Structure 1
Amino acid sequence: MHPANYIPVYAMLQLGVVNAGNVFENPEALREQLKQLRAADVDGVKVDVWWGIIEGNGPKKYDWRAYRSLFQMIKEEDLKLQAIMSFHQCGGNVGDNVTIQIPKWVRDIGASYPDIYYTNRRGSRDEEYLSIGVDLENIFQGRCGLKLYRDFMMSFRENMSDYLDSGMITHIEVGIGPCGELRYPSYPQNQGWVFPGIGEFQCYDNNLREGFKESAEDIGHPDWDLPDDTGEYNDTPSDTKFFGVDGTYLTEKGFFFLKWYFYTLTQHADCVLHIANRAFLGCKLQLAAKVSGIHWWYRDDSHAAELTAGYYNVREHDGYITLARMISIHYGTLNFAFAEMRNFEQNKKQRTFLSNLFNRYLVMLGGRRSK
């Protein structure tokens, strides 16, 4: 029996364990891996459940057969499971060794209506994840973005009820952005971003642009538009007028834009987690959401890389506590990407970032570590 403070250990399965064609590849090899994990006292595994695979044949045409075979094998090997609702594209980022796109029928809509995708100031589209701007737009065969996520999770609940009811599935991590992370795709490698570039804001599709204009009009500034002085992916803060010394981000207009950009992201996450809670109501499991560890330029006054990703974390505002509180309202756990790195793998700036973030999160939780 484990002690009361025992934290279960989960191993991440390979990205393409169910391939892009919805086939459970190499089951014999995987069974041997699972046996080895169990022999090593690993408690369970984590696996991406790809939207692009399951609903790939058309709207509401969900095919769970390959995943049910996978889950049955995990059960037979007496392991627990954390299922990741992966609404993003796999491919083009660090560690991606397979390509799994979002459903083709959704991409077909994007071919004629490209504003379903996040867009930078120069009009480049990012196809990793649907833009927040279509959360309430009924353009997907009569459904909006939020209903796509809701219907997928409801279908998972219905088709995996035996594994949910038995307690084998212990966690549902809800993907809320590119790489499954709660952020904007501000630093896409497939568009030429290279560390430690500041990245670019991703709110120039027509839907988000109109949303900003409406918000600006509401406070008496119909003349305000999205910023045009924010630089490009691989700039430094001092290369730009927006993030430089006495930059635009410190002006009234800059403050308003950054708060709007952050609020829009937070509202999206709030809605998706609310949907997840309703979809899995009554299940004995833990919800989780992943936040990215954007450590570069953390010690610059502007926090430029965090701001372009949507984390409004400046001297006057602690964006991470706001996100952590929002996640906790939905009884969710904050999964912080990058925390697995060890001190010797990080420079002083990165260690400072992690230390400050964890201290603030623990204070918000009243000193309790999230398991």
Structure 2
Amino acid sequence: MQTPTLVTVRTQKDKMLANYVPVYVMLPLGVITPNNVFENKEEIEKQLKQLKAADVDGVMLDVWWGIIESNGPKQYDWSAYRSLFQIVQKCGLKLQAIMSFHQCGGNVGDIVNIPIPKWVLDVGETNPDIFYTTLSGERDKEYISVGLDHKPLFGRRTAIEMYSDFMKSFRENMSDFLESGMIMDIEVGLGPAGELRYPSYQENKGWVFPGIGEFQCYDKYLKADFKEAARQAGHSDWELPDNAGVYNDKPDSTGFFKSTGTYLTDKGKFFLTWYSNKLLFHGDQILDEANKIFRGCKVKLAAKVSGIHWWYKTENHAAELTAGYYNLNDRDGYRPIARMLSRHYAILNFTCIEMRDSEQSARC
């Protein structure tokens, strides 16, 4: 997902003030093509020089896993990205790099299609449960399910190990840009659209605002994980929800989210705690790897959290719950995420914070 950036021009005098806000501009999603080619070098350099002349501090871009490791496990090709980084450096700009472990395509603002590596998708052809799955069995191939974090199904590697190996290769191949301070931030992708969440509201699956979305935990790995967690809690009879509706339902039309719904019961609270904790542990483990990999570099880590605003002013906060944010009027679902990021000294990038209540319906 591409987030537009407001560019403001500051004089050198402004920059000398103590607390000015640095401005970074998002580069086009397809600046490196899906075939790993840096096209239009002269035009990009011209635009970068214009940004520099406008007193912009730097640029931000996605470093796509699906491009870099497309040829096979641990076969990384950084040549096109190195050419781009060299031009960014030549123009005197800084860089924020996003470790994008998700598919580009299917989210708001996606204008190109960059799937995750084909050899990973091939694993999914024989074992579709590596992907997030709805109650009806629909798969989402944008990002690997958190149920695979510790399953060595990818050439004897787990999902966490694949993400870690990618970041290690980035550090090794971009060491000169890291050591010079040109690369300022590393945003670590943690889910769909790079955000720490489940793919609960996917437009390419038919979701339309303000649908509540769907829980995404019905692959065999997460189902088994839940059953074991329920057994250890003394509730072997508890199952995953089967009354939470579908993508475009409203909260009150479901048994799970209605005013006296399942989400208020012990069973519902147990499920929502488990569901949100799986997401939290996922982010914690990847950021732990990132911290070890980039230790000693002059960079800050960051992670993105989705600003799910629809149905926020309801008792059930349904859209947040399906996305994995266990946030209610009497329960802060974002504090645990903030604490986790703080433990890794990571910046919290929160989307949609610029929006106004009056701009949307659906109890935003």
TM norm. shorter chain > 0.5: yes
Residue identity (%) = 63
Aligned residue for 1:174?
188
User: How far, CA to CA, are the matches of 1:328 and 1:349 in structure 2?
Assistant: 30
Aligned residue for 1:57?
71
2:307 is equivalent to residue 293 of structure 1: yes
1:2 deviation in Å? 2.6
1:338 deviation in Å? 1.0
User: How far, CA to CA, are the matches of 2:285 and 2:314 in structure 1?
Assistant: 32
Aligned residue for 1:114?
128
User: How far, CA to CA, are the matches of 2:213 and 2:66 in structure 1?
Assistant: 26
Question: Which of the residues 130, 139, 148 maps onto 1:125?
Answer: 139
**Correspondence 1:33-182 to 2 at 5 A:** 33-182=47-196
Q: CA-to-partner distance for each residue in 1:260-303, whole Å, 9 max, x for gaps?
A: 00000000000011011011010111100000010000011100
Unaligned runs of 5+ in 1: 351-371
Aligned residues: CA RMSD: 1.2
User: How far, CA to CA, are the matches of 1:342 and 1:208 in structure 2?
Assistant: 36
Aligned residue for 2:269?
255
User: How far, CA to CA, are the matches of 2:214 and 2:76 in structure 1?
Assistant: 35
Q: 1:40 and 1:273, CA in 2 relative to 1: closer, same or farther beyond 3 A?
A: same
1:315 deviation in Å? 2.6
Q: CA-to-partner distance for each residue in 1:234-263, whole Å, 9 max, x for gaps?
A: 000011000001100000000000000000
Aligned residue for 1:278?
292
Unaligned runs of 5+ in 2: 1-14
Question: Which of the residues 207, 219, 228 maps onto 1:214?
Answer: 228
TM-score, normalising length: structure 2: 0.94
158-167 vs 341-350, greater mean Cα deviation: 341-350
Q: CA-to-partner distance for each residue in 1:134-166, whole Å, 9 max, x for gaps?
A: 000000001000000000000000000000000
8 Å contact from structure 2 (residues 210, 362) kept in 1: no
1:3 deviation in Å? 1.9
User: How far, CA to CA, are the matches of 2:270 and 2:330 in structure 1?
Assistant: 13
8 Å contact from structure 2 (residues 105, 112) kept in 1: yes
Aligned to 1:319, the other structure's residue is in SS state coil
Aligned to 1:289, the other structure's residue is in SS state strand
User: How far, CA to CA, are the matches of 1:343 and 1:229 in structure 2?
Assistant: 29
* 2:346 alignment partner AA: G
User: How far, CA to CA, are the matches of 1:31 and 1:316 in structure 2?
Assistant: 51
Aligned length: 350
* 1:337 alignment partner AA: T
TM-score, normalising length: structure 1: 0.93
User: How far, CA to CA, are the matches of 1:8 and 1:345 in structure 2?
Assistant: 27
Aligned to 1:126, the other structure's residue is in SS state strand
User: How far, CA to CA, are the matches of 1:274 and 1:61 in structure 2?
Assistant: 24
1:347 deviation in Å? 6.4
2:37 is equivalent to residue 27 of structure 1: no
Question: Which of the residues 212, 235, 240 maps onto 1:198?
Answer: 212
User: How far, CA to CA, are the matches of 2:339 and 2:258 in structure 1?
Assistant: 31
8 Å contact from structure 2 (residues 214, 244) kept in 1: yes
**Correspondence 1:340-351 to 2 at 5 A:** 340-341=354-355, 345=359, 349-350=363-364
* 2:282 alignment partner AA: H
* 1:24 alignment partner AA: F
8 Å contact from structure 2 (residues 100, 188) kept in 1: yes
1:106 deviation in Å? 0.4
* 1:296 alignment partner AA: W
Aligned residue for 2:8?
none
1:341 deviation in Å? 3.7
User: How far, CA to CA, are the matches of 1:149 and 1:15 in structure 2?
Assistant: 20
1:343 deviation in Å? 7.1
User: How far, CA to CA, are the matches of 2:182 and 2:225 in structure 1?
Assistant: 42
User: How far, CA to CA, are the matches of 1:280 and 1:16 in structure 2?
Assistant: 26
User: How far, CA to CA, are the matches of 2:357 and 2:208 in structure 1?
Assistant: 23
User: How far, CA to CA, are the matches of 1:192 and 1:161 in structure 2?
Assistant: 42
Aligned residue for 2:330?
316
User: How far, CA to CA, are the matches of 1:187 and 1:94 in structure 2?
Assistant: 11
Aligned residue for 1:240?
254
1:38 deviation in Å? 0.6
1:199 deviation in Å? 0.2
User: How far, CA to CA, are the matches of 1:67 and 1:231 in structure 2?
Assistant: 43
Aligned residue for 1:328?
342
Q: CA-to-partner distance for each residue in 1:347-371, whole Å, 9 max, x for gaps?
A: 6954xxxxxxxxxxxxxxxxxxxxx
1:342 deviation in Å? 6.0
User: How far, CA to CA, are the matches of 1:310 and 1:88 in structure 2?
Assistant: 17
1:345 deviation in Å? 4.4
Aligned to 2:74, the other structure's residue is in SS state coil
User: How far, CA to CA, are the matches of 2:261 and 2:88 in structure 1?
Assistant: 53
1:4 deviation in Å? 1.9
8 Å contact from structure 2 (residues 314, 363) kept in 1: no
